[in-house]
């Protein structure tokens, strides 16, 4: 019982501290997500903003203007942290009828406007009053008792018509019991804000180790600037319900300005995702790209270069009946692919949850010390203790060739037999090991009856031969597979 009371008191105090911290907080916080399979502005964000507001007792109208253009109004919430129980939201509106030339002129049909004439130097020479009759397909005005089509001169309007606004605005009708200053919290979701990870790998000499650094790229095309924001990034595949089209959504072409800052992200598990929190405020300007270091570079990570030959370019899988066509899957691919792998574990100096992103790989040219690009790949969200496998390209000096050497089928006794010869020619000045991948796709029941080299069964349809290929020599792998049904 005593232990229960202590735990309950601790939870209460933690909640009280959190509440106290929020009640004294002002500014903006962003929790940014990236949509699956997308990066940058394809994501979305939860915006949390704390502002002070003077309320009178009774009903108040509060206008909140500096919101993102791509806000989702259905996600907006308002709360008074000063008097949450007695400050009620009676109505909540999102006004997005932004001012434009067409809308302004439409509001002044049959009303007085001013035409200001200019000389060739753009200097005003005089003004005349006119009545705007139409603004469709050109301006039609009545002036001096005559009708003028597209009259010369600059149109001047006396004032901004009611109902038009210069910025998207949230408007609340509030009922307050306490008069005076209230610290309020506004939360909403916006599109046009997203993030993705970029990684730089530098392969060391011998390709047995690498240096790894990670960066976060935040793309802000939401239509708002977030000054000195507290940033949180969520990594993981968060499910989203399909969203219907909405007339208030807008798209703006952004001009990106790249900014780079130092490290400072703290990572932790959060629900079934990972949360990265920046330990200092950072400003996200509208129509800009910001880069932040995800973690400090990790040096000398053990790595392995893998050569993989996958000779069947057709890549046939899982037929519903035995495939007895002898020509099926007999094409030959000559390319031997190059992979670089490393383990995301403590032994490698990592054990860091790696968010999905693009990995660019470089290697130093020993003659001048410059870093040269040797390939790139994309990784999915990778937890600690998992292997990272990067496909970099195809080997120039290693060639593979695959051919069918025999094929037999007996439909009466329900079996077929197929034989292959796979040649690897190594033109490098060093011996290499090549993994030869073979798919046994013709039917589910199979048996290797003859093989020149040992093989490893990877799954129900795949085997691997790991073969030493001496320099400047050709090595041949042969095997026979029998299918029964």
Please, is 150 exposed, middle or buried when counting C-beta atoms within 10 Å of its C-beta (0-12, 13-18, 19+)?
exposed
| 299, pLDDT greater than 90 | yes
First-residue to last-residue Cα distance in the chain:
67
The pLDDT value recorded for residue 120 is: 72
Domain boundaries, the chain: 26-92+186-294, 101-156, 297-484
The pLDDT value recorded for residue 10 is: 40
| 270, pLDDT greater than 50 | yes
Report d(CA 400, CA 333) in Å as an integer: 7
Residue 286 C-alpha from the chain's centroid = 17
- pLDDT (average), residues 123-146: 85
Pick 247 or 340 by higher pLDDT. 340
- pLDDT (average), residues 343-368: 92
List of E strands, 427-472: 432-439, 446-451, 455-459, 462-469
| 266, pLDDT greater than 90 | no
Residue 154 C-alpha from the chain's centroid = 46
**21-59 pLDDT per residue, tens:** 444 567 899 999 975 544 445 689 999 999 899 999 999
* Side-chain half-sphere CA neighbours of 370 within 13 A: 5
Cβ 415 vs Cβ 455: under 8 Å: no
| 477, pLDDT greater than 80 | yes
Report d(CA 407, CA 317) in Å as an integer: 19
Paired with 128 in beta bridges are 115
Determine how β-strand 335-343 pairs with β-strand 387-410: antiparallel
**205-251 pLDDT per residue, tens:** 889 999 999 999 999 998 889 999 999 999 887 877 765 554 433 33
| 258, pLDDT greater than 50 | no
For residue 13, what are the CA distances in angstroms to 4, 16, 17, 79, 312?
A: 14, 5, 6, 22, 64
Pick 129 or 406 by higher pLDDT. 406
Q: Confidence band (pLDDT; 50, 70, 90) for 14?
A: very low
Determine how β-strand 44-55 pairs with β-strand 462-469: unpaired
The pLDDT value recorded for residue 414 is: 95
Residue 220 CB partners (closer than 8 Å, separation 6+) = 41, 192, 193, 226, 254, 284, 285, 286, 287, 288, 289, 290
Please, is 6 exposed, middle or buried when counting C-beta atoms within 10 Å of its C-beta (0-12, 13-18, 19+)?
exposed
The pLDDT value recorded for residue 157 is: 83
The pLDDT value recorded for residue 2 is: 42
| 408, pLDDT greater than 50 | yes
One DSSP character per residue, 128-167 reads EEEEEEE-SSS-EEEETTEEEES-SSEEE-SSPPTT-BSS
Pick 388 or 275 by higher pLDDT. 388
The pLDDT value recorded for residue 141 is: 87
Cβ 283 vs Cβ 294: under 8 Å: no
- pLDDT (average), residues 290-298: 90
The pLDDT value recorded for residue 108 is: 82
- pLDDT (average), residues 84-110: 82
The pLDDT value recorded for residue 8 is: 39
Report d(CA 336, CA 165) in Å as an integer: 62
| 343, pLDDT greater than 50 | yes
Task: Provide the mean pLDDT of the chain.
Answer: 84
């Amino acid at each position: 019982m005593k232990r229960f009371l202590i735990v309950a008191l601790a939870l209460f105090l933690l909640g009280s501290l959190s509440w106290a911290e929020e009640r004294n907080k002002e500014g903006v916080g962003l929790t940014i997500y990236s949509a699956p399979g997308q990066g940058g502005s394809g994501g979305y964000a939860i915006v949390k903003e704390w502002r002070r507001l003077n309320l009178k007792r009774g009903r108040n109208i509060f206008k909140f203007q500096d919101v993102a253009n791509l806000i989702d109004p259905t996600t907006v919430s308002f709360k008074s942290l000063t008097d949450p129980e007695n400050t009620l939201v009676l109505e909540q509106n999102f006004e997005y009828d932004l001012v434009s030339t067409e809308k302004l002129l439409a509001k002044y049909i049959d009303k007085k406007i001013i035409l200001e004439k200019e000389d060739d130097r753009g200097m005003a020479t005089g003004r005349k009053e006119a009545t705007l009759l139409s603004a469709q397909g050109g301006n039609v005005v009545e002036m001096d008792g005559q009708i003028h089509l597209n009259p010369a001169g600059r149109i001047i309007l006396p004032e901004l018509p009611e109902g038009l606004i210069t910025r998207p605005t949230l408007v609340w009708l509030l009922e307050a019991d306490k008069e005076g200053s209230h610290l309020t919290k506004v939360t909403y979701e916006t599109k046009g804000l997203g993030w993705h990870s970029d990684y730089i790998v530098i392969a060391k000499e011998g390709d047995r180790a690498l240096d790894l650094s990670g960066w976060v790229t935040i793309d802000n095309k939401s239509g708002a600037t977030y000054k000195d924001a507290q940033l949180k990034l969520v990594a993981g595949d968060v499910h989203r319900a399909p969203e219907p089209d909405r007339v208030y959504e807008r798209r703006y072409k952004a001009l990106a300005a790249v900014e780079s800052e130092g490290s400072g992200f703290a990572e932790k598990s959060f629900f079934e995702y990972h949360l990265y929190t920046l330990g200092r405020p950072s400003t996200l300007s509208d129509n800009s790209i910001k880069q932040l270091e995800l973690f400090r570079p990790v040096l000398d990570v053990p790595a392995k270069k893998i050569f993989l030959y996958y000779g069947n370019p057709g890549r046939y899988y899982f037929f519903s009946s035995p495939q007895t066509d002898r020509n099926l899957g007999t094409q030959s691919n000559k390319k031997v692919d190059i992979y670089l792998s490393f383990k995301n574990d403590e032994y490698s100096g990592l054990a860091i949850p790696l968010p999905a992103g693009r990995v660019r790989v470089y290697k130093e040219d020993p003659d001048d010390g410059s870093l040269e690009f040797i390939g790139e790949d994309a990784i999915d969200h990778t937890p600690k203790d998992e292997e990272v496998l990067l496909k970099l390209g195809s080997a120039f000096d290693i060639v593979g060739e695959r051919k069918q050497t025999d094929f037999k089928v007996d439909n009466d006794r329900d079996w077929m037999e197929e034989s292959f010869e796979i040649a690897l020619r190594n033109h490098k000045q060093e011996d290499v090991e090549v993994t030869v991948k073979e798919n046994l796709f013709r039917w589910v029941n199979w048996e290797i009856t003859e093989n020149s080299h040992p093989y490893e069964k990877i799954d129900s349809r795949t085997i691997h031969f790991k073969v030493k290929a001496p320099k400047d020599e050709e090595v041949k792998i042969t095997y026979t597979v029998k299918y029964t049904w």
